Amino acid sequence: MTNPGRCLCGSVTWEVTAEPQSPSNCHCGMCRKSHCAAFATYWTVAHADLRFTGGATNIVLYKSSASDLLTRAFCGACGSAVPNGDDEAWSVPAGGHDDGPVPDPEIFVASQAP
């Protein structure tokens, strides 16, 4: 299985080469505000299962103002969210893919937008 992904403008491209783990819709305040949406949909992918295929030098990292533990990654050309890794895995924005697993579970629903 290879599932290609990209930012809105196509400057940053990547491939997920295994079934994503934990596809979820996150309703936490940080995700809602950073995406200006009711929730953000992300997949968790092991380091070995994601490969950037173009434009990795266009990725801009921002330290979250809400938490010192969180860094967000965006395309420097169009501002789309792009995969962001930590010591354990990649967080992959599901919206960058045309196909993929249905998100389940809904997380941080206590913070859900009204």
Residue 62's CATH number? 2.170.150.70
pLDDT grade for 1, boundaries at 50, 70 and 90: confident
Contact 36, 21 (CB under 8 A): no
Which pair of tokens denotes residue 6? 């990209």
pLDDT at site 67: 67
User: Of 64, 60, 94, whose CA–CA distance to 77 is shortest?
Assistant: 60
For the entire predicted model, the pTM comes to: 0.83
pLDDT at site 35: 81
Three-class secondary structure of residue 21 per DSSP: strand
Per-residue pLDDT reduced to its tens digit, 73-101: 999 999 999 999 888 899 999 999 987 76
Across 22-46, average pLDDT: 87
pLDDT at site 100: 72
How many C-beta atoms lie closer than 10 Å to residue 107's C-beta?
17
Domain of residue 38 covers 3-111
The answer on pLDDT for 16 being more than 90 is yes
How many domains does one find in the chain?
1
pLDDT at site 66: 66
pLDDT at site 28: 84
DSSP assignment letter at 86: -
Cα Dmax for the chain? 39
